[in-house]
Amino acid sequence: MSSRYASQRPRRGHRLVPWSGIVLRLALFMSLLAAASCSTSESSPTATAAPAEAAKDPAAARKLIAAGAVVLDVRTPDEYGFGHLDNASNIPVDQLATRLPEVARLTGADTTRPIVVYCASGRRAAKAKRALDQAGYTNVVNGGDLDDLR
């Protein structure tokens, strides 16, 4: 074997595959290309519709609360214990799907009755709003966080 190929000698137990470097580079390039194509700035209508539906609207929420809307605090019971709106019922967002009968009782089984959801930042309230929308409630507002509604 000439000295030109000495650095390419396979280690003990390994075989030298001449195309492996090219294949690895091609695979890396393809995966980077695929990742870049997934993060384009153009978005589909469904991708923009969900955040817009769940966007917090504290001003509208305060008006609905004043008019008698059902108010759901979707934080944990511990968070609820540290302070909440006087008329709020605590149904943590991760329990919402199993506690929909309780929501129906609070709304008098009226799926058009206004419901205001809030949490600590608005993120869990957005998730709760989407879940209630999917359950057929048509007038759900993300009030954002507790401080937005005080």
Q: Which residues have a catalytic role annotated?
A: 119
Q: How far is CA 130 from CA 52, 74, 133, in A?
A: 11, 13, 5
Residue 89's SS3 state is: strand
Measured torsion, CA atoms of residues 52, 56, 58, 61, in degrees rounded to the nearest 10: 70
Alpha-carbon span 24 to 71, nearest angstrom? 56
